[in-house]
Each structure stands twice: as structure tokens, then as C-alpha cells.
């Protein structure tokens, strides 16, 4: 999943009607994967709408409990992301045959991830935890683990993470800030997406 696009936008959706224009704006900027969080009531409906947009891989974020795995799979989610590690969420995702990226913030979480046979995780919250230095420290005992750092990442810091071999992708909300969505500034979303992709390729 982490090889598809080096930048994954994290979306907090307030209006499900914004989902498709948002997806089109991201595709126009060169981003074909997006994480819609379950932090708002509109999230699930937006996920369902966006799942039908050709060429876009839509995942569900902020999945906290196993029943939400069922809900998002039924809404068409192509992957599941959690902010932390839950064995029950991971097991339900396996039962539903959907890729899952559990969140980790340290070595204990990664031990649980290894026990569950997974090798891709979301490192959260990457910035407050210490940035790229934390990835380097954790990658040493967990060789083969692949990280998607998230939380506090900016256009200026994303490259420092992506320069590390165990980091195929980063995620963040800066490309899809809530105010941009509220004001339907789709051209700005496209510009931010294109800028992020260009920086990721450097
Ligand atoms: C999240 O799940 O909220 C992501 O980590 C995004 O964090 P950001 O808003 O700091 O980019």
C-alpha cells in the first residue's frame, strides 16, 4: 500500500458533497490515494462517494474499534489506518481482507505489529515524537519494517523523512486543510498536492 504514492493526504470531511471534488482536485495534482478519517459524521458517506471515483484509492482513517472496520469495508475502503495499535482492529481487518496500517509510537507497539505479521505502520505523531531521528532509531531493531510518518509533517520537513529508506510515504493534512474544503478552494488543493508530489520526487 505504501508504494502507491509518497504523499497521503489525511482528510477531515465536514460535508460529504465535498468528497468527489476533493478527490478530483487531488488526482489533478498527481495524488491518487487519500485517507478519509472517521472524525466527523460526514466521513463514512464521503468515503462511500470517493470510493467510486476512478483511479483513486480511498482508505479510512481514525479507525479505533473493530466494528468501524466492518463499516468502512462496506463503504468501499481500500485500506484502514489507526492512530494506535489495536489487536482487535488488526484482526478484524485481516478477517475482512483489507490492508491495515496500525499506528505506532514506539518499540512496544512495533513488537505487537511484528507478532501480527505486519510490516507497514503509521508512525504517529511523528513530529512531536522527534521527527526523522525517531524513525532511524526504531528502524534499527525492526529491520524490514516500513513507516508512514504522520502528525506535524510540513512541506518543508517531508523530504527529511522520505530520504530514509524505510519511509516510502508520509501522510498529513496540510494539502487538504479544513478551511480549503469549507471554502471549496479546489485549485489550491491541486496546487498543494502537486507541490508535495514534486518535493517527494526530489
Ligand atoms: C492525523 O492522523 O491526524 C495525521 O497524522 C495528520 O496529522 P497533521 O494534521 O499534523 O498533518
**pTM of structure:** 0.96
Active-site residue flag, 122: yes
C-alpha 9 to ligand 1 mean position (Å): 9
Q: Is the pLDDT of residue 1 over 90?
A: no
Question: What phi and psi values does residue 26 have, to the nearest 5 degrees?
Answer: -70, -45
CB 49 within 8 A of CB 19: yes
Query: Can you tell me which atom of ligand 1 is nearest the CA of 125?
Result: 5
Which of 7, 8, 10 to mutate to test ligand 1, by most ligand atoms within 8 A of the CB atom?
Answer: 10
Residue 188 a catalytic site member: no
- Protein residue with least CA distance to atom 5, ligand 1: 151
Pocket test for ligand 1, best of 81, 125, 176 (most atoms within 8 A of CB): 125
Ligand 1 atom nearest 173 alpha carbon: 11
The DSSP letter of residue 100 is E
Distance CA 191, CA 202 (A): 17
Residue 201: the pLDDT is 87
Q: Catalytic one among 95, 122, 177, 183?
A: 122
Determine the atom of ligand 1 nearest the C-alpha atom of 174: 11
The per-residue pLDDT for range 16-26, each reduced to its tens digit, is: 999 999 999 99
Does the pLDDT of residue 50 top 90, yes or no? yes
User: Residue 202 has what pLDDT?
Assistant: 82
CA gap 161, 144 in Å, rounded = 16
The active-site residue, picked from 24, 35, 95, 136, is 35
Residue-range domains of the chain with CATH: 7-201 (3.20.20.70)
> Under a CB-based contact definition with an 8 Å cutoff, are residues 61 and 92 in contact?
no
Supply 27's cell numbers: 488526482
Q: Work out the percent of the chain whose per-residue pLDDT is above 70.
A: 100
Distance CA 101, CA 81 (A): 5
Residue 177, pLDDT score: 97
What integer best gives the mean pLDDT of the chain? 97
| Other Cβ atoms closer than 10 A to 15 | 14
**What pLDDT digit, counting tens, does each position of 86-119 carry?**
999 999 999 999 999 999 999 999 999 999 999 9
Residues 167-201 pLDDT 10s: 999 999 999 999 999 999 999 999 999 999 999 98
Per residue in 139-152, pLDDT tens?
999 999 999 999 99
Amino acid at each position: 500500500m505504501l508504494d502507491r504514492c509518497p504523499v497521503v493526504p489525511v482528510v477531515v470531511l465536514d460535508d460529504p458533497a465535498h468528497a468527489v471534488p476533493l478527490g478530483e482536485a487531488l488526482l489533478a495534482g498527481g495524488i491518487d490515494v487519500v485517507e478519509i478519517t472517521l472524525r466527523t459524521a460526514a466521513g463514512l458517506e464521503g468515503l462511500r462517494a470517493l470510493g467510486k471515483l476512478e483511479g483513486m484509492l480511498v482508505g479510512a482513517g481514525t479507525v479505533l474499534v473493530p466494528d468501524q472496520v466492518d463499516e468502512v469495508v462496506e463503504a468501499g475502503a481500500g485500506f484502514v489506518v489507526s492512530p494506535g495499535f489495536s489487536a482487535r482492529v488488526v484482526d478484524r481487518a485481516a478477517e475482512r481482507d483489507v490492508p491495515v496500517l496500525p499506528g505506532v509510537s514506539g518499540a512496544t507497539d512495533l513488537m505487537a505489529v511484528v507478532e501480527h505479521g505486519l510490516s507497514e505502520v503509521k508512525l504517529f505523531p511523528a513530529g512531536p515524537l522527534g521527527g526523522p531521528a525517531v524513525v532511524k532509531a526504531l528502524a534499527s531493531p525492526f529491520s524490514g519494517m516500513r513507516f508512514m510518518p504522520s502528525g506535524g509533517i510540513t512541506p518543508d520537513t517531508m523530504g527529511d523523512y522520505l530520504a530514509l529508506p524505510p519511509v516510502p510515504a508520509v501522510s498529513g493534512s496540510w494539502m487538504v486543510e479544513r478551511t480549503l474544503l469549507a471554502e471549496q478552494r479546489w485549485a489550491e488543493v491541486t496546487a498543494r498536492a502537486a507541490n508535495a508530489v514534486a518535493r517527494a520526487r526530489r
